[in-house]
Amino acid sequence: MGFNKGFNVQLATLFGIGRIPGGGTWASLIVLLIALYEQNAETASFLAFFTLIIGSHVYRKLIAVVDSEDPKEYVLDEVIGMGIAISGVYIFSSIFNQFSFDLIKNLSAIDELFIITFIVFRFFDISKIGPVGWIERNWKEKSYYRVIGDDIMAAFLSIIVVIIFLSVNLWIL
């Protein structure tokens, strides 16, 4: 395996994270930790955008090595999904300042928001409930679009659910 192909495979697996058990959760956790460290979603947004650009190229390099259309080693789809979810929730909460949680005393409101977004995103991505599963099982679509599509749908559903949680927290509780 040449350097270029090897490097692309390393990118596709997020430098080996995709090869460990629960690789998708670990990849999502990295995006969460970056957002928690920065207390904003700028790098998460950049990672999602950048990964969308390079994702299909490194995906093709990986499937040539592992001989699977949906390799578990490919974790850039989680980076895309988690980046979109964190960014969407952050934008919404920035526009409407009063939207926040106060669940755990030692965490800031943005920390709680990002952690809840991570939990909801992983729920949708792992369970493949509703539209997330429909996208993944749409055999009429190219495999790469199914692989990233379910994570993008999980991100949008996560944004909606977290915004609903925020709204209930503000207006009802």
Read off the pLDDT of residues 96-140 as tens digits, 9 standing for 90 and up: 775 666 667 788 888 989 999 999 999 999 999 999 999 999 989
Domain tally for the chain? Answer: 1
pLDDT, residue 6, reads: 87
pLDDT, residue 172, reads: 73
> Which is nearest to 39 in space by CA: 147, 113, 128?
113
112 membership: H or E segment, kind and range: helix 109-127
DSSP state of 105: T
128 membership: H or E segment, kind and range: none
Q: What is the 3-state secondary structure (H, E, C) of 45-82?
A: HHHHHHHHHHHHHHHHHHHHHHCCCCCCCCCHHHHHHH
Q: Is 130 left (phi over 0), alpha (psi -120 to 50) or beta?
A: left
Range of the domain at 78: 3-171
pLDDT, residue 108, reads: 83
- Ranges of residues in the chain whose predicted pLDDT is under 70: 1-5, 98-103, 173
Contacts of 38 (CB under 8 A, 6+ apart): none
Q: CA 77 → CA 32, 68, 72, 92, 152, distances in Å?
A: 14, 15, 10, 23, 8
pLDDT, residue 109, reads: 82
pLDDT, residue 100, reads: 61
C-alpha atoms less than 13 angstroms from C-alpha of 140 in its C-beta half-sphere: 2
